Amino acid sequence: MKKRLAVMDLGTNTFHLLVADVAGGGMSVVYRDRRPVKLGKGGINEGRITTEAMERAVNCMREFRQQCDVLGVDSIKAIGTSALRSAVNGREVTAAIRQAADVNVDVITGEQEAIYIYYGVRAAMDLGTAPSLIVDIGGGSVEFILADRDTIFWKRSLEIGAQRMLEQYHKHDPMLAGELQRLYQHYENAIGELVHAVTLWKPLALVGSSGTFDTLSEVYCIREGLPYRPTDSETPLTVDAFLRIHEELVTKNRALRMQIPGMIEMRVDMIVVASCLIDLLVRTFRFKKIRVSSYSLKEGVLNATS
């Protein structure tokens, strides 16, 4: 029997809505939407959600709920992540959403977030039998998952998301050499456990989950004259192309970054610090291959729910 399900992903930077018809183990996407709510802006490093951000969140969720009603959704699963789980007033925000939109938000742990991301990536591509390092760079947290097509070997969620790093280190644009140095040092200090896990499991590929990786893939495709289809579950990117794009991102200001074909408004501010993390991972672990999954947490939730 076919059911129409909706997943709402309340991220630190972006809110997503995915509606799909699910039947017999398969799914057909009916509707997608994303909004730059910027829930963590101005308060992420202080562990609070600002009044302005709460208003943006409530307004977005009210509109998402209205869209679900129009589409005749049978069931809604709303997931809150890093900003909501680390904010002292997170329950106040979810209560306001429940009152305004009649949507109950499930604020999940970082470990559960990593599991959902794995489900999403596994639905997007064949991970094969060799381990890969799956990375999802959110605004509040970054999830690292070492896995193959069948098994998660190791997972962690670290509070080093792009909005946190942006507000802490990206004080000038382009970033100053000292700011970049301190950012890289922060990342290096944070990934000690990951280094040990990579040494143990020896992943062959870096698999980027949605977000920043989508934009990097689109920039690459435009430059190489390749078709970029965001509806595809996997899109192209190479290590060499990433390194060239990264050098541009760290040397250009916001206005010049916006002129890069494929860049989008909701990604232009945080993409520099996010790209620095990818650069560190590629160079530290000497990855020769990058894969980009268009699927992430919301598709993982949908697969787990169905």
CA 122 to each of CA 96, 102, 106, 233: distance values in angstroms, whole numbers, following the listed order: 34, 31, 23, 10
Together in a domain, 148 and 25: no
Contacts of 222 (CB under 8 A, 6+ apart): 228, 261, 262
| pLDDT, tens digit (0-9, with 9 covering 90-100), for 228-284 | 998 899 999 999 999 999 999 999 999 999 999 999 999 999 999 999 999 999 999
The tokens of 46 are what? 């202080």
pLDDT score for 252 = 98
| pLDDT, tens digit (0-9, with 9 covering 90-100), for 139-157 | 999 999 999 999 999 999 9
Q: What is the mean pLDDT of residues 69-82?
A: 98
Residue 82 predicted with pLDDT over 90: yes
pLDDT score for 20 = 96
Q: What is the mean pLDDT of the chain?
A: 97
Together in a domain, 92 and 116: no
| pLDDT, tens digit (0-9, with 9 covering 90-100), for 12-59 | 999 999 999 998 778 899 999 999 999 999 999 999 999 999 999 999
* Domain edge (last residue) among 108, 133, 157: 108
* Domain edge (last residue) among 58, 93, 108: 108
Task: Please state the pTM of the whole predicted model.
Answer: 0.97
Residue 137 predicted with pLDDT over 70: yes
Residue 173 predicted with pLDDT over 90: yes
Among residues 186, 203, 199, 81, the alpha carbon closest in space to that of 145 is found at: 203
Together in a domain, 80 and 67: yes
- Side by side, which strands form the sheet with 234-235? 152-158, 142-147, 132-137, 205-209, 290-293, 234-235
Residue 64 predicted with pLDDT over 70: yes
Among residues 225, 221, 224, 223, the alpha carbon closest in space to that of 292 is found at: 221
pLDDT band at residue 290 under the 50/70/90 scheme: very high
- Residue found by looking up tokens 């999403």 in the block: 120
pLDDT score for 229 = 93
pLDDT band at residue 306 under the 50/70/90 scheme: low
Domain that holds residue 295: 111-299
Together in a domain, 133 and 278: yes
Instruction: Domain count for the chain, please give it.
Output: 2
